[in-house]
Amino acid sequence: MAIDEDALLAEQIAYYRARAPEYDRVYAEREDLRELLALADDFPVAGDVLEFACGTAQWTGALAARALSVTAVDASPEVLGIARARVPSSNVRSYGADVFQWRPPRRYGTVFFAFFLSHVPPSRLGDFWNTVAAALAPGGKAIFIDEGPAAVAREEVAADVRRLDDGSQYRIVKVLHDPAELV
C-alpha cells in the first residue's frame, strides 16, 4: 500500500507542533545527546549559518556563538517560540517555514541540521540535498547529525508512530540512512 507522503509530512509537522512542550525532555533524559551537544563547539562553522529544522534551539546557541549570524528555520511556530526564548541573540533570526517548500533567499557558509535527515522521505532526498547545495556559498560546508542505520530503509518511506504524553499518536517519516551511501 502506497503512503501519501504529503499527508504523512503534514502529520509529522502536526506532531512536532503538539510535541513542543515535551521536545526538550529527550535531551534531559539521554546522556548521549548531551554529549553530542558538547561537541557543537568543535563543528567547523564558518560565516553565516543556516539551520534547518532548528526545533527548540538545542543547537542554535552553540552555532550562534561562533557564527556571524544564524538563520534558524522550522515549520512549527510552537517550537520557534521556545527557540526564540532560549536563544535571544541579536545574531539569530528565526523563520517559520516548511523546509520541503522553502527556498533560501541567500547563501551561507554553513548549513546545519540535527536529527532531520531521517525525516526526509527518500523520494524527496535529492530535492532536499539540492536545497542544501543551493544554500551553500562557494566553499561552504553542510554539517548534520542523525541516527544510524540500525534499520536502513531504501525504497519506501518508513512511517513511525509516535505517542505524546496526552496519548495522541502521530505518524512521522523515519528513514535511517547508511552513512556510506550518503557520501
Q: What is the percent of the chain with per-residue pLDDT over 90, rounded to a whole number?
A: 73
Pairing of strands 108-114, 48-52: parallel
Q: Which residue has better confidence, 13 or 180?
A: 13
What is the average pLDDT across 139-152? 79
Query: How confident is the model over 158-169, as pLDDT tens digits?
Result: 568 899 999 999
Q: What is the DSSP string of 76-91?
A: -HHHHHHHHHH---TT
| Closest by CA position to 70, among listed 94, 86, 88, 53 | 94
Identify the pLDDT of residue 155: 34
Identify the pLDDT of residue 17: 97
Identify the pLDDT of residue 154: 37
**Cα–Cα distance between 63 and 52 in angstroms, integer?**
12
Query: How confident is the model over 68-122, as pLDDT tens digits?
Result: 999 999 999 999 999 999 999 999 999 999 999 999 999 999 999 999 999 999 9
pLDDT band at 183 (very low <50, low <70, confident <90, very high): confident
Residues whose CB is less than 8 angstroms from the CB of residue 130 and which lie 6 or more positions away in sequence, other chains included: none
Identify the pLDDT of residue 36: 87
**Cα–Cα distance between 89 and 67 in angstroms, integer?**
11
Identify the pLDDT of residue 181: 80
Can you tell me whether residue 101 is helix, strand or coil? Answer: coil
pLDDT band at 149 (very low <50, low <70, confident <90, very high): low
Query: How confident is the model over 20-75, as pLDDT tens digits?
Result: 999 999 889 989 888 988 888 889 998 999 999 999 999 999 999 999 999 999 99
pTM of the model: 0.91
Location of C-alpha cell 539540492? 130
What is the average pLDDT across 121-147? 95
**Cα–Cα distance between 59 and 128 in angstroms, integer?**
20
| Closest by CA position to 116, among listed 62, 53, 46, 26 | 53
pLDDT greater than 90 at residue 156: no
| Closest by CA position to 9, among listed 111, 112, 122, 110 | 122
**Cα–Cα distance between 159 and 75 in angstroms, integer?**
19
